[in-house]
C-alpha cells in the first residue's frame, strides 16, 4: 500500500479463513483509556471478554494466554481447552508481560520489565531464566519465536539503561537474537515485534518503521518491506494470507484511532483490507478452531489490573453505555485536589550504586477530593528529586512511575518507584511525590505530599569484582557500565579509550579462557551468559593483533610463572610496571625499597619465586642492596624487577641512576638481566623480544632452581611504557628442569660408602629448604645406619629450623664439638656425608676429623671455601633429595652403629639457672600450645638473635612441624618486612615474627606495611633493655666499660607496645624481667600464652612486647663469645690420636 491508497474496511475475515477457524486478537490497554480484551474475528468481530491480555500461543489443542499487568502487579497465565479454563497460574515477579511460547511442556514468558525470559514448568515453578543485561526494561524484550530447534527473542536493542532505546529515539538497534548464544539473527530494526520463521524466510513487524519486513534467512538482509497503516504487532499466517495486528501509536496522531487487523495477500505482497477492533492496542494474533474459541469464552478469575477494568465497566454498564475511556478524568487538577500521602511499602537498600536505578515500593493514598488517574491527557505520575545533605538539588535522569490504577479519594495503591541514582558517591535525600504531566509537583503545593528517604550511594557493586580478575580497574569497569549498549560496554572492557586492545585483558582471557571472561561480564551485568555469549566472543581481539608494553610483558610473565604478590615503592621510572602488576591483582605498597626486597624474599620462603619486588633504580636498588644480599645469603629465591631510567637518560647518569647499576648490583644477586632500548628495525626488534622472553624465563628458572637466590631484571622506563612485545611471543615459563644427577660423582660416592661402616651425616639447615629432603635423609640414614647431626649456630642469628627424631630417627641432635657424645661418634666414624653445607668451617663447627668425606650440595663454591675436602673426597653437585635417594639405593643395609655412645641424659655444657629455665620452657610451651591449637601451619620468622638463641635451647618443646626461618645474613631489622611478605604471600599459614629491640626499631617500615595490609601477623618483641649479645662479647675484651656503657642500652623510656599501638597495631605487654620472682612467673607466662593465643586469631597485626631480663645470668648458654676454631676432635674412642684438619 502507499500513503494515499484507501484501505478497504472489512466486516470480518471469514472469506480469508477455512471453515471452523477463527482469528483471535489479544488486546491490552497500557494507558488506562478504553481497556483491552480478547476478540474473535470470523464473519464479524465478536468480543470474547474484556480482560487485557498480551501473548497467546496454541499448542497441542490448548490455548495459552498471558494476562496483562502493569508494573508492580503480577501477571497471570491462563490455559484453555475446549471445555474452558484448564489451568491458571499467577506469575509473581513478572510485570508488563509480553509474548509467550510453549515448548516441551514449558511455557516461556517474556517479562519485559524484568528484562528476562522465564520458563514456567507445569507445576508453576520457574525452571529457567534467560536474563538480558542492563536495568529493568533496558532491552524491551517482547516476542518469542521458533527457529528450527532453536528459540529466538526479539527486542529493541541491547541497551544498559532503563528504556535506553527510548532515550536514543528508538534507533535501528532492534534485533532478533538466538537465546542459546545471544547472536543477533536479524538486526537494523526499529522497535521490532513478532518475528515469524518458516521455509527459510523471516517475517518481522518493524513497528516503529510501520513496516512488515521479509528477510531470506541465507542473507538475513531485507528483501521486501510493506508499509502498514499503524504500529504493526502480532502475526498469524495461512498459506495465502498474513494477518497483522495494527495498533494506534501511543505518541503520534498520524495512525489509526483504533486497533485493527490488516490482511496481507502473500502472493501480491499488499494489504487487501483491515478489520477494526474496538480497542487501541492489539498485541498478539492466533488461529484457533471453534472448540477452543468456545473454551476461551467460559470466563476466569482476575488480576489487579483486570479487576480495575471490570469494576469500572460495571459502573458504566449500569448506566447503559460503553465508555470511551475507563476514567475520563485526565483533566487538570485544581491545586486543592493535588493531595496525597506517600509511605514506604518495602525495604530500602542500605547502599545503592552510583548511576544505577533504585527501585522502592511505595503506598500512594489519595488525600484529595478528585480522582487521581494514570489516564491521558494529563496522567498523574510518581516523580522524584535528589538533594545533597545541604539541600542542593542534584540533577539526574527523569524517571517517572505510573500509578497502577485510578485512585478515587481516600484509596490506596502500591507503586514500584524507580529513580536514577546520582553519579557521585555520597549521602543524599530522595524526595518522592506526585505530579501531573506538565503540572506542578504535589509537594510544592502541599509539603506533606512527599516521602523523604536518606540514601547512601556507593561507587560500585560487588559483581564488578569478577572483571578485576581480567586486568581491569573497577573504575574502568564502572566507566564501561556507563555505556549505552552492551556492545559498547564490552568493547570498553576490551579496548583502551585510544582504541588499542587491552593487552593484559586479552592475555588473561587466553589464560583463563573465554568462558571465564563471559562469566565475569555476565556477573557484572547480572544477566544470563547465553544472552551475551555471541557478542562477547565476537568482541574479543585476536591475540595475534595484540602488542604488550614492556611492563605488561614482564607482569604477565610473572603472573604466568605463578608469582602471587609483588611489592613496590614506586618512583617515576617504574610506574608502568606498578600499573601492570596492580591490574593483575599482585601489587602491594611495600613502604620502602629495602622493605620491598625483604617482603619479596619473605613471600618466597616457602615457595621460591612466589613473591617479587619492583625497585626504583636511582635510590631504590642502592637502598635495597643489604636486603638483596640477605636474600642471597638466606637463599630466598625471588625476582627483583628494577625500573631503570629511560634509555635517553643514560648519558646523564647520575642523577637518574648510577652507571652499570644492574651489573654492579648483580654481585649481590644470583644472576641479573637488563633490557636495552627498543629497536626500530623489525629484525632487531624481534631479537629484543626474544631476549626479553627468554631472559624472563631464565630469571624465573634461576629463582626456582637450587641454590635459590635473588635475580635482578632491569627494565628502562621507555622500554616499560612502549607497546612492542607481541602477546603471542609471550609464553608461560616452564618449571625449571631438574638437572641430571652427576653419575660419575655418585659412583665415586657409592664406592667411598662401600668401604665405610660408621657414617655420620652432617646437615646444614639450608638442606631443609628443599622439598622431600626429610624423607630422603631418613631413607639414607636408615639404609646406612648413619648418625645424623645438624649444624648449630651459637652467635649472631641462632634460631633456625632443625630436624626431629620423629622425622629422621637417626638424628642425634644439634652438633656441639664440646659434647662428649658427639666427640665419641665423630672419633669412631669412618666417613662423613655433609648435606647442603654452607658454613661448616672451623669457627662454626670446629675442626672435622680427617676421614673420607662426601659433600652433597647444590652450591659447590660454598663447600669448597670451607676447606675440609681433599682430593680423595667426593663432591656430588645436584638436587639434594634425589642424590640422597640415589646413594641410599645402593648402600648396604646397616643398623645404627653409634647407639653405644648415646647417654640417657643430654649433655649440658652450661648450667642454666633453674628460674631462667622455667621461663625458657614456659615460653616454648606457650608457643607449642598455641601452635597445636591452630588450624593453620605455623611459620616462625626470627630477627632477634638472643631471643632466638633462647628458643633454640628449648627446641624440643616447640610445636612439631613448625617452619622456622632465621636470618643467615644477620641484617638486623629485616624481620618485620620478611614476615609481612611471608604472611601476604602465604595466607594459608600463620606467621609469627620474633624481634630483638633493635630489629624492631630498624624495621618500623615493615610494621607500617603490615598495618596497611591488615596482615594477620604476630610480632613478638624481646625487650631485654639493651644489646645483651654485645655486652657478653665486650666483657672478656674489656670493651665499652666491660659491656656496661650506656651505648649498649635501649633508648630510654621506649615502650615498644605503645609505639606499635600508635602505628595501628593491636599490642600487648608482658613483663618477665623479674625472673627471680617465681611466685609471679606462672601468671606472667599464662599472660604471654593468652596474648599469643589471642593474636593468633586476630585478623590484623598484633605486637607483643615481651620484657625479659638483661641479666647475663638469665642468658646463660646463649651466645658464645668465641668461635670454635680451638675445638678439635678428641680422636678415636680407643685413645689413638687421629689427624685433625680445619
Among the ranges 156-170, 309-323, 1044-1058, which has the highest mean pLDDT value? 156-170
Q: How confident is the model at residue 1142 (pLDDT cuts 50, 70, 90)?
A: very low
Cis peptide preceding 655, ω within 30 of 0: yes
Grid coordinates representing 242 are: 498474513
- Among the residue ranges 247-256, 579-588, 1052-1061, the one predicted with the least confidence is 247-256
Cell 631476549 -> residue: 691
Rounded to 5°, angle at Cα 60 from 57 and 62: 55
CB 322 within 8 A of CB 316: yes
How many other CB atoms are found less than 10 A from the CB of residue 621? Answer: 28
For 460, the enclosing helix (H) or strand (E) is none
Q: What is the pLDDT of residues 176-224, one digit of tens each?
A: 999 999 999 999 999 999 999 999 999 999 999 999 999 999 999 999 9
Mean pLDDT over residues 47-76, rounded?
Answer: 93
pLDDT the model gives residue 1134: 30
Q: How confident is the model at residue 986 (pLDDT cuts 50, 70, 90)?
A: very high
Reported as a single tens digit per residue, the pLDDT across 470-492 is: 999 998 998 898 898 999 999 99
> Mean pLDDT throughout 466-471?
92
Dihedral sign from CA coordinates of 297, 303, 309, 313: positive
How is residue 1062 written as a grid cell? 600508635
Find cell 605486637 and name the residue: 1103
pLDDT at position 838, please? 93
d(CA 286, CA 57): 7
pLDDT confidence of residue 1027: 58
Assess whether pLDDT exceeds 60 at residue 311. Answer: no
Per-residue model confidence (pLDDT) at position 659 = 84
Q: pLDDT-based confidence at 893, cuts 50/70/90?
A: confident
pLDDT exceeds 50 at position 1013: yes
**Cβ-proximal residues to 911 (8 Å cutoff; 6+ apart), any chain:** 1116
Number of residues that make up the chain: 1142
Strand partners, 723: 549
The pLDDT tens digits of the residues spanning 640-694 come to 999 999 998 877 777 767 888 999 999 999 999 999 999 999 999 999 999 999 9
> What's residue 258's pLDDT?
86
Look at 42-46, 243-247, 849-853, 942-946 and tell me which has the smallest mean pLDDT: 942-946
- Within a 10 A sphere around the Cβ of 221, how many other Cβ atoms? 10
Q: Which tops the pLDDT comparison, 261 or 818?
A: 261
**pLDDT tens digits, one per residue of 344-373:** 998 998 899 888 899 999 999 999 999 998
pLDDT in tens, 383-431: 999 999 999 999 998 888 888 888 999 999 999 999 999 989 999 999 9
Lowest mean pLDDT among 550-559, 1062-1071, 1104-1113, 1120-1129: 1120-1129
Average pLDDT rounded to a whole number, residues 1130-1137: 32
pLDDT digits (tens, 9 = 90+) for 236-257: 999 999 999 999 876 544 445 7
What is the rounded CA–CA span in Å between residue 538 and residue 528? Answer: 17
- Residue 119 confidence (pLDDT) above 80: yes
Grid cell, residue 64, equals 495459552
**pLDDT computed for residue 324 by the predictor:** 40
In the structure, what pLDDT confidence band is assigned to residue 755 with cuts at 50, 70 and 90? confident
Alpha-carbon span 95 to 7, nearest angstrom: 36
* Banded model confidence at residue 700, pLDDT cuts 50, 70, 90: very high
Q: How confident is the model at residue 795 (pLDDT cuts 50, 70, 90)?
A: confident
Task: Tell me what the mean pLDDT of segment 732-742 comes to.
Answer: 73
The whole-number pLDDT of residue 735 equals 66
Domains within the chain, CATH numbers bracketed: 14-312 (2.120.10.30), 337-458 (2.60.40.10), 462-545 (no CATH), 560-673+698-729 (3.40.50.970), 743-901 (3.40.50.1220), 914-1115 (3.40.50.970)
Task: Write down the pLDDT at residue 931.
Answer: 93
**What is the model's pLDDT at position 1077?**
83
Q: Which pLDDT score, from 0 to 100, does residue 1138 have?
A: 29
Q: What is the mean pLDDT of residues 6-22?
A: 92
Q: To the nearest whole percent, how much of the chain has pLDDT over 70?
A: 90
Mean per-residue pLDDT, 64-85:
91
Give the pLDDT of residue 316.
Answer: 46
Q: Among 200-209, 1027-1036, 1107-1116, which is the least confidently predicted range?
A: 1027-1036
Residue 328 pLDDT more than 50?
no
Q: Among 6-15, 896-905, 1044-1053, name the one with the lowest average pLDDT.
A: 1044-1053
Among the residue ranges 662-671, 735-744, 913-922, the one predicted with the least confidence is 735-744
pLDDT band at 323 (very low <50, low <70, confident <90, very high): very low
pLDDT over 50 (residue 1129)? no
Cα dihedral 246, 252, 256, 257 in deg (nearest 10): 110
Predicted confidence band at 1125 (pLDDT cuts at 50, 70, 90)?
Answer: low
Answer yes or no: are the C-beta atoms of 418 and 72 closer than 8 Å: no
Stretch 46-50: mean pLDDT, rounded?
Answer: 94
In whole numbers, what is the pLDDT of the chain averaged over residues?
A: 88
- Residues 995-1001, mean pLDDT to the nearest whole number: 85
Rounded to an integer, the average pLDDT of 44-48 is 95
Mean pLDDT of 1069-1075: 89
pLDDT digits (tens, 9 = 90+) for 509-528: 999 999 999 999 999 998 99
Alpha-carbon gap, residue 192 to 200, rounded angstroms? 19
Question: What pLDDT was estimated at residue 889?
Answer: 83
DSSP state of 407: B
| Strand duo 1017-1023 + 1102-1107: pairing | parallel
Closest CA to 278 of 29, 55, 15: 29
pLDDT for position 35:
83
Q: Which grid cell is 13?
A: 475475515
How many angstroms separate the Cα of 857 from the Cα of each of 405, 739, 766, 873, 965?
87, 13, 10, 14, 20
Amino acid at each position: 500500500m502507499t500513503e494515499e491508497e484507501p484501505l478497504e474496511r472489512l466486516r470480518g475475515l471469514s472469506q480469508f479463513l477455512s471453515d471452523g477457524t477463527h482469528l483471535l486478537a489479544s488486546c491490552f490497554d497500557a494507558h488506562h483509556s478504553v481497556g483491552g480484551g480478547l476478540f474473535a474475528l470470523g464473519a464479524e468481530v465478536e468480543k470474547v471478554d474484556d480482560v487485557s491480555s498480551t501473548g497467546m500461543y496454541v499448542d497441542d489443542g490448548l490455548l495459552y494466554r498471558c494476562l496483562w499487568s502493569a508494573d508492580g502487579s503480577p501477571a497471570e497465565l491462563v490455559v484453555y481447552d475446549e471445555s474452558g479454563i484448564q489451568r491458571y497460574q499467577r506469575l509473581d515477579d513478572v510485570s508488563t508481560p509480553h509474548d509467550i511460547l510453549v515448548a516441551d511442556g514449558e511455557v516461556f514468558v517474556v517479562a519485559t520489565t524484568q528484562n528476562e525470559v522465564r520458563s514456567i514448568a507445569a507445576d508453576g515453578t520457574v525452571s529457567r531464566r534467560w536474563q538480558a543485561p542492563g536495568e529493568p526494561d533496558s532491552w524491551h524484550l517482547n516476542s518469542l519465536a521458533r527457529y528450527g530447534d532453536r528459540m529466538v527473542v526479539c527486542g529493541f536493542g541491547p541497551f544498559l539503561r532503563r528504556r535506553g532505546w527510548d532515550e536514543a529515539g528508538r534507533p535501528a538497534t532492534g534485533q532478533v537474537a538466538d537465546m542459546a548464544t545471544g547472536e543477533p539473527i536479524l538486526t537494523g530494526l526499529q522497535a521490532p515485534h513478532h518475528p515469524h520463521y518458516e521455509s527459510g524466510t523471516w517475517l518481522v513487524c518493524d513497528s516503529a518503521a510501520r513496516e512488515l519486513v521479509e528477510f531470506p534467512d541465507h542473507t538475513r538482509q531485507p528483501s521486501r518491506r510493506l508499509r502498514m497503516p499503524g504500529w504493526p504487532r502480532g502475526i498469524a499466517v495461512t498459506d495465502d494470507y498474513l494477518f497483522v495486528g495494527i495498533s494506534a501509536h501511543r505518541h503520534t496522531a498520524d495512525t489509526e484511532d483504533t486497533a485493527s487487523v490488516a490482511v496481507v495477500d502473500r502472493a501480491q505482497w499488499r494489504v487487501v483490507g483491515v478489520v477494526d477492533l474496538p480497542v487501541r492496542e492489539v498485541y498478539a494474533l492466533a488461529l484457533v478452531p471453534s472448540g477452543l474459541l468456545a473454551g476461551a469464552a467460559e470466563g476466569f478469575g482476575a488480576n489487579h489490573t483486570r479487576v480495575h477494568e471490570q469494576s469500572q465497566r460495571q459502573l458504566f454498564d449500569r448506566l447503559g453505555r460503553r465508555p470511551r475511556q475507563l476514567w475520563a478524568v485526565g483533566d487538570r487538577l485544581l491545586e486543592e485536589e493535588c493531595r496525597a500521602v506517600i509511605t514506604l511499602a518495602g525495604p530500602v537498600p542500605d547502599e545503592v550504586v552510583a548511576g544505577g536505578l533504585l527501585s522502592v515500593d511505595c503506598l500512594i493514598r489519595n488525600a484529595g477530593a478528585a480522582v487521581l488517574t494514570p489516564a491521558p491527557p494529563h496522567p498523574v505520575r510518581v516523580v522524584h528529586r535528589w538533594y545533597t545533605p545541604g539541600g542542593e538539588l542534584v540533577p539526574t535522569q527523569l524517571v517517572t512511575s505510573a500509578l497502577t490504577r485510578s485512585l478515587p479519594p481516600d484509596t490506596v495503591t502500591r507503586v514500584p518507584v524507580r529513580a536514577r541514582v546520582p553519579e557521585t558517591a555520597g549521602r543524599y535525600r530522595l524526595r518522592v511525590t506526585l505530579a501531573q504531566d506538565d503540572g506542578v509537583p504535589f509537594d510544592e503545593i502541599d509539603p506533606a505530599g512527599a516521602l523523604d528517604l536518606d540514601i547512601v550511594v556507593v561507587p560500585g557493586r560487588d559483581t564488578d569484582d569478577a572483571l578485576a580478575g581480567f586486568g581491569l580497574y573497577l573504575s574502568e569497569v564502572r566507566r564501561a557500565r556507563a555505556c549505552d549498549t552492551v556492545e559498547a560496554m564490552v568493547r570498553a572492557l576490551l579496548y583502551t579509550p585510544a582504541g588499542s586492545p587491552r593487552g593484559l585483558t586479552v592475555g588473561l582471557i587466553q589464560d583463563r579462557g573465554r568462558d571465564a571472561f563471559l562469566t565475569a561480564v555476565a556477573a557484572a551485568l547480572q544477566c544470563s551468559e547465553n544472552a551475551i555469549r555471541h557478542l562477547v566472543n565476537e568482541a574479543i581481539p585476536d591475540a595475534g593483533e595484540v602488542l604488550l608494553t614492556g611492563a605488561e610483558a614482564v607482569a604477565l610473565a610473572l603472573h604466568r610463572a605463578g608469582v602471587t604478590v609483588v611489592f613496590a615503592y614506586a618512583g617515576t621510572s617504574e610506574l608502568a610496571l606498578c600499573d601492570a602488576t596492580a591490574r593483575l591483582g599482585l601489587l602491594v605498597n611495600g613502604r620502602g625499597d629495602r622493605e620491598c626486597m625483604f617482603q619479596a624474599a619473605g613471600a618466597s620462603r616457602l615457595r621460591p619465586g612466589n613473591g617479587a619486588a619492583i625497585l626504583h633504580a636511582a635510590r631504590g636498588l642502592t637502598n635495597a642492596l643489604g636486603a638483596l644480599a640477605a636474600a642471597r645469603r638466606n637463599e630466598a629465591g625471588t625476582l627483583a624487577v628494577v625500573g631503570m631510567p629511560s634509555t635517553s637518560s643514560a648519558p646523564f647518569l647520575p642523577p637518574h641512576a648510577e652507571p652499570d647499576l644492574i651489573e654492579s648490583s648483580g654481585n649481590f644477586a644470583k644472576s641479573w638481566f637488563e633490557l636495552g632500548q627498543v629497536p626500530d628495525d623489525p629484525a632487531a626488534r624481534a631479537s629484543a623480544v626474544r631476549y626479553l622472553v627468554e631472559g624472563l624465563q631464565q630469571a624465573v628458572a634461576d629463582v626456582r632452581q637450587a641454590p635459590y637466590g635473588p635475580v635482578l631484571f632491569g627494565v628502562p622506563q621507555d622500554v616499560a611504557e612502549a607497546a612492542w612485545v607481541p602477546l603471542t611471543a609471550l609464553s608461560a615459563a616452564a618449571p625449571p628442569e631438574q638437572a641430571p644427577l652427576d653419575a660419575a660423582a655418585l659412583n665415586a660416592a657409592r664406592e667411598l660408602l662401600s668401604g665405610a661402616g660408621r657414617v655420620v651425616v652432617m646437615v646444614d639447615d639450608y638442606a631443609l629448604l628443599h622439598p622431600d629432603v626429610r624423607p630422603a635423609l631418613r631413607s639414607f640414614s636408615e639404609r646406612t645406619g648413619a648418625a645424623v647431626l645438624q649444624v648449630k649456630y651459637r652467635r649472631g642469628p641462632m634460631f633456625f629450623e632443625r630436624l626431629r627424631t620423629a622425622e629422621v630417627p637417626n638424628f642425634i641432635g644439634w652438633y656441639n664439638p664440646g659434647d662428649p657424645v658427639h666427640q665419641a661418634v665423630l672419633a669412631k666414624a669412618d666417613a662423613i656425608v655433609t648435606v647442603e653445607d654452607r658454613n661448616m668451617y672451623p669457627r662454626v663447627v670446629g675442626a672435622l676429623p680427617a676421614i673420607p668425606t662426601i659433600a652433597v650440595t647444590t652450591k659447590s663454591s660454598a663447600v669448597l671455601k670451607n676447606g675440609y675436602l681433599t682430593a680423595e673426597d667426593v663432591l656430588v653437585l645436584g638436587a639434594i633429595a634425589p642424590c640422597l635417594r640415589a646413594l641410599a639405593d645402593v648402600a648396604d643395609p646397616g643398623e645404627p652403629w653409634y647407639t653405644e655412645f648415646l647417654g640417657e641424659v643430654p649433655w649440658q655444657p652450661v648450667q642454666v639457672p633453674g628460674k631462667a629455665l622455667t621461663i625458657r620452657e614456659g615460653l616454648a610451651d606457650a608457643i607449642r600450645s598455641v601452635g597445636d591449637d591452630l588450624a593453620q601451619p605455623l611459620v616462625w620468622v626470627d630477627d632477634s638473635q638472643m631471643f632466638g638463641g633462647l628458643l633454640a635451647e628449648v627446641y624440643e618443646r616447640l610445636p612439631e612441624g613448625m617452619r622456622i626461618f632465621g636470618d643467615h645474613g644477620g641484617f638486623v631489622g629485616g624481620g618485620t618486612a620478611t614476615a609481612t611478605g611471608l604472611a601476604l604471600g602465604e595466607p594459608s599459614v600463620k606467621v609469627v615474627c620474633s624481634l630483638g629491640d633493635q630489629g624492631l626499631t630498624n624495621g618500623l617500615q615493615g610494621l607500617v606495611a603490615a598495618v596497611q595490609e591488615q596482615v594477620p601477623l604476630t610480632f613478638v618483641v624481646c625487650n631485654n633493655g639493651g644489646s645483651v649479645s654485645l655486652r657478653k662479647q665486650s666483657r672478656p675484651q674489656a670493651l665499652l666499660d666491660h659491656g656496661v656503657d650506656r651505648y649498649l642500652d635501649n633508648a630510654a623510656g621506649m615502650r615498644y607496645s605503645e609505639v606499635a599501638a600508635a602505628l595501628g597495631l593491636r599490642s600487648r605487654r608482658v613483663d618477665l624481667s623479674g625472673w627471680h620472682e617465681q611466685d609471679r612467673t606462672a601468671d606472667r607466662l599464662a599472660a604471654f600464652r593468652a596474648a599469643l593465643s589471642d593474636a593468633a586469631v586476630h585478623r590484623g597485626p598484633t605486637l607483643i612486647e615481651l620484657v625479659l631480663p638483661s641479666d647475663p645470668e638469665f642468658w646463660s648458654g646463649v651466645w658464645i663469645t668465641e668461635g670454635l676454631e680451638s675445638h678439635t676432635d678428641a680422636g678415636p674412642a680407643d685413645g689413638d690420636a687421629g689427624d685433625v684438619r680445619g
